Amino acid sequence: MKGPVKIVTIGGGSSYTPELMEGFIKRYEELPIREIWLVDIEDGREKLEIVGALAQRMWDASPYDVKVHLTLDRREALKDADFVTTQFRVGLLDARIKDERIPLLHGMLGQETNGAGGMFKAFRTIPVIGEIVRDMKELCPDAWLINFTNPSGMVTEAVIKHFGWKKCIGLCNVPTIAMMAEPKLLGKELQDLNYRFAGLNHFHWHKVFDQDGKDLTPQLIDHINEKDGGTPANIYQAEFPLELLHSMNLLPCGYHRYYYLKQAMLDHALEEFRAGGTRAEQMKQTEHKLFEIYKNTELHVKPPQLSKRGGTYYSDAACECIRAIYGNKKIHMVVSTQNNGAIPCLDGDSIVEVSSIISATGAQPLVWGTLPPAEKGWLQMMKAMEECTIQAALTGDYGLALEAFVLNPLVENNGETQRVLDELLVAHEKYLPQFQDKIQELKARGVHCDDPVVMELMRTGH
């Protein structure tokens, strides 16, 4: 790829956009940018204008003459784009509040990307990413789609496998955080180590070797429960049993705590919920404070307070991925991409999160090989859950949605499973047109969530 590029960010009013701008400014000499377009919807207009003004101040303070365009017209922005990044949240943080509160009211985890909430985020998001892909096919047919909208693995699988857009890579900040924290624990630099990751988004394991091929994984397992052991800030750090990890000789990602330590994570989530609301409600307050900071016309850098949000480093990973494609860098990154045999126990066209080499041709996954029986079983079950979720999102098939719920280990089979599914469907009616027939049936039967917070969100149209 030659010449300056046009970059379009869908969900441009996100609080993460300053990190994206910082990443592009830092890499400008290797990734010259012609123009940047930030796209949002009417409900996000105010945030788009605030963060867009900060983005322009950041560029104006740099040595580079780059114009940041703001628009609510996605098609206007997409015309002749070279790279499209996606960081949107259908229904905004109010939707996440419902995703988390409703399951917790019934004694189950509402985790926003892995549990019942994560599946509903997929139900809302996948139809919208399909509309974006349809526009891209018409307006920028050669563009790369770099997705960090969660649940990133399922969204990326829908884009590649179901919507037919092969030039797509999904990103996550969890491997990035691990590779930033772990070398310090060993007294080494990242370039001194060889990392290998394999699994699914928010459900991967990894191993670490030195330059002589010595396996350093056991040493890092001993550090995993420490404060700086590589767990993202948004995950409660319940203690892994080290005997289990040493038996596996694999480093689980932070999100594995929800599966290996489900009761401890549920207890903590319920305690937090009763004390002051869900994490989504905490993040809404954090985001409000961030945008107050962003309004300062003297500010022209990414503020340090942004690191308090759990998704920090997503944007920087996106910039690095785009730089690698543009410059044919052939660098190692951990991305969601088509399996193509990297993990033999999963289908070749499944989307997996694995160590890959990123170049002008996209992501080339590195073969991990055979996984131990337990990890193989986990992956096959989780991929089945993902596939049911994607199909339900595409078709509005209630039975498939229920099957996905039953498969998901974080959805407790306590007699409340179907009730939680039904209440979430009704609560998210505005953003689930594919389920409208079922939602009307549920409403006619009187299904609703009587939680005052959820009721107020629905009353105000959220």
- Pull the structure tokens for residue 136: 């891209």
- Pull the structure tokens for residue 390: 């994607």
Catalytic (active-site) positions: 255
> How far is the C-alpha of 336 from the C-alpha of 351, rounded, in Å?
6
CA dihedral 351, 356, 358, 363 (to 10 degrees): -30
